[in-house]
Chain A
Amino acid sequence: MTTLENQSNDPAIAGALRGALTIVVIGAALGIGYNAMGLASRPHRGLAWVKQPEKLQSLEALQSAPGATAPASESASHGDAGSAATASAPGDAQAATATSTTPAPEAPKSAPAAEAKHDTSAAAHGSATTKKTGASTKSSTSKSKKTAAHPSTTAPAAAAGSQTSVPAAAAGAAASAPASAGAATSGAATAGAASAGAAATTGGAAATAAADVPAIPDVTGPLKLELATLKKLYAANAALIIDAREAEEYTDGHIKGATSLPYNDAMADPDKVKKLDPAGRPIVVYCSGGDCELSMNLAKLMVENGKRKVLVYEGGFPEWQGAGMPVAKGANP
């Protein structure tokens, strides 16, 4: 009987290894031949021989391209509540809608833009996490009083110029939510009564920031954006910011107001993506910059799950932090 000791001295091993190499060569030849036939067929069925790294289209390049879509028409194509507000300053009025019914687990207080906007921002970010965290109704109510009033005094009316009535109406509609819930009557009254004139007088710098908000084309697939553009969106609270890194990295430091949604978690449970509620605003996804692909992968997953206007901030947290922009520490609210 052959023993294991004999196996180790087996002269046929060299022959077997040569045979294995032959199998590799034959297999490779068959695979390459099969793929070549696929590429030659109509329609093409084969794979490209060399995979090109995926490069996202740049938002800035799209905007500078002639014939860029006007924001109003983009928003209108969405057809969701508050889309008129999105046209001029994406999401402000919708953020109010979200905040009227959802808690605000994290309320940034030192962000660069007007505090009112950041209250709205935090609440809107909270809307994405509410289902997960189950934050208290009390905080929701208290926030909704604040935020329901603010949007009408900030971006939409002032930014829209001649369209002042639309955002104001949207804000009013947003404020009606807490009123019907019996949560924030005063907030509802304030927001509902807000006029374009009031917006013009109280908007100030906030309105300027909102007017500066770039329009996000409603294209298929994610786009990448630069720090300068993200700053504008952030200042106007016109985007839902998602951190695609692991929860531990998020805890160590993240963009202030961002919501943690690790790519691995999202892949394991796509419902987390479906439940995200950007309140009509674009979604900005980031990770660690450099070679980090989590943000792009998560962005693609979002698009696959029906999200629109998904942007990838390739610079990631290191660039944001390096630029001196607001950061925060701690777990996902």
Chain B
Amino acid sequence: MTEGPIARLLSSPILIRVCRVGVGLVMLAAALGKIGDPAAFSSQIHHYHLTPVGAENLMAIVLPWVELIGGLALVLGVHARSGAWLSAALMTVFTVAVSLAVARKLDIECGCFGTADASRVGGLKLLENVLLTGAALVASLRLR
């Protein structure tokens, strides 16, 4: 079966590598911003009102480290596809969370980068997340 130009572009090794490094760096930045202040990140999770209160601290403790390892895998190219799949899954969850917050008209801090970034949820943040999810999916493609 022949493939179209978009499919060929998405399968480009250069694009896949660029996406892996790009998404990896974003994941690293997000992780480091959260690891520094897990209490603040826990509060930011709480503001979404999506998780049980009892689980918020555990999420704030674990999630940044998972992001950190996933980001390192992508940037260093060690188990990069695993890191990319994980990033895509995390980004999907984050996108859903931001979408729900926007739908409920919550004006809250995104918490995407912990306390390092005070950006709030909204259309722009949603677009960012969708693009990052797409990039993570491209990064999860196999290099030839």
**Complex Cα spacing A27 to B89, Å:** 15
Partner of B83 from the list A20, A53, A268 (CB cut-off 8 Å) is A20
By a CB distance below 8 angstroms, the chain B residues around A27 are 62, 65-70
Partner of A19, one of B1, B3, B8, B79: B79
The reply to whether A5 and B1 form a contact with Cβ atoms under 8 Å apart is yes
The residues of B that contact A46 with a CB separation of less than 8 Å are 38, 61
- State whether A30 touches B65 (Cβ < 8 A): yes
Residue A226 interfacial (CB < 8 Å): no
Task: Give the contacting residue for B81; candidates A16, A24, A265; CB below 8 A.
Answer: A16
A51, B53: Cβ atoms under 8 Å? yes
* Nearest CB on B from A1, distance (A): 5
Complex alpha-carbon distance, A20 and B55, angstroms: 22
Contacts of A17 in B (CB 8 A): 82, 85
Query: Closest approach, in angstroms, between the C-beta of A273 and any C-beta of chain B?
Result: 14
**Docked pose: A47 CA to B67 CA in angstroms:** 19
Does B58 have its Cβ within 8 Å of any Cβ on chain A?
yes
**Across-interface contacts of A246 in B (CB, < 8 A):** 105
A10 to B142, CA, bound (A): 8
**Is the CB of B117 closer than 8 A to any CB of chain A?**
no
Determine the chain A residues whose CB is within 8 A of the CB of B54 once the complex forms. Answer: 50-53
B74 CB to nearest A CB, Å: 10
Q: Is the CB of A264 within 8 A of B106?
A: yes
What per-residue 1/0 map shows which CB atoms of A1-40 lie under 8 Å from chain B? 1111111001010001111101110111011101100000
List the A side residues contacting B65 at CB < 8 Å.
Answer: 27-28, 30-31, 34
Task: Kindly list chain B residues whose C-beta atoms are within 8 Å of the C-beta of A10.
Answer: 142
Q: Are A264 and B69 in contact (CB under 8 A)?
A: no
Q: Report the bound CA distance from A35 to B89 in whole Å.
A: 24
Contact-residue size bin, chain B (C-beta under 8 Å from the other chain): 35 or more
**CB <8 Å contact, B86 and A31:** no
What is the 8 Å Cβ interface bit string for chain A, positions 31-63, against chain B (1 contact, 0 not)? 110110000000000111111110000000000
Q: Which residues of B contact A6 (CB under 8 A)?
A: 142
Known: A1-B11, A23-B83. A268 touches B107 (CB 8 A): yes
* B10 CB–A CB distance under 8 Å: yes
Contacts of B143 in A (CB 8 A): 2
Q: B38: which A residues are within 8 A, CB to CB?
A: 35, 46-47
Q: Give the residues from 53 to 106 in chain B that come closer than 8 angstroms, CB to CB, to chain A.
A: 53-58, 60-70, 73, 79, 81-86, 89, 105-106
Say yes or no for B18: interface residue by CB 8 A criterion: no
- Among A6, A23, A53, A264: residue with most chain B CB under 10 A: A23
B42 close to chain A: CB less than 8 A: yes
CB pair B49–A293 under 8 Å, yes or no, is: yes
- Name A18's closest neighbour in chain B (CB-CB): B82
Given A1-B144, A23-B69, A28-B62, the answer on whether A50 and B57 have CB atoms closer than 8 Å is yes
- Contact A20/B89 with A4-B3, A5-B1, A32-B62 known, Cβ cut-off 8 Å: yes
Whether A205 is near chain B, meaning CB under 8 Å from some CB there, is no
Tell me whether B7 is interfacial, beta carbon within 8 Å.
yes
Q: Is the CB of A49 within 8 A of B58?
A: yes
Rank and list the top 9 A-B pairs by shortest CB-CB distance, nearest first: A19-B82, A27-B66, A31-B65, A16-B81, A20-B86, A27-B65, A31-B62, A51-B57, A264-B107
Apart from A28-B65, A51-B42, what are 20 other A-B pairs with CB-CB below 8 Å?
Answer: A1-B11, A4-B7, A4-B10, A6-B142, A12-B142, A16-B84, A16-B85, A19-B79, A20-B82, A22-B82, A23-B82, A27-B62, A27-B70, A28-B66, A48-B57, A49-B57, A49-B61, A51-B46, A51-B57, A52-B53
Q: List 12 A-B contacts (CB under 8 A).
A: A4-B7, A4-B11, A4-B141, A16-B84, A23-B70, A23-B73, A31-B62, A31-B66, A47-B38, A51-B56, A264-B108, A293-B49
B-contacting residues of A (Cβ < 8 Å)?
Answer: 1-7, 10, 12, 16-20, 22-24, 26-28, 30-32, 34-35, 46-53, 246, 264-265, 267-268, 293
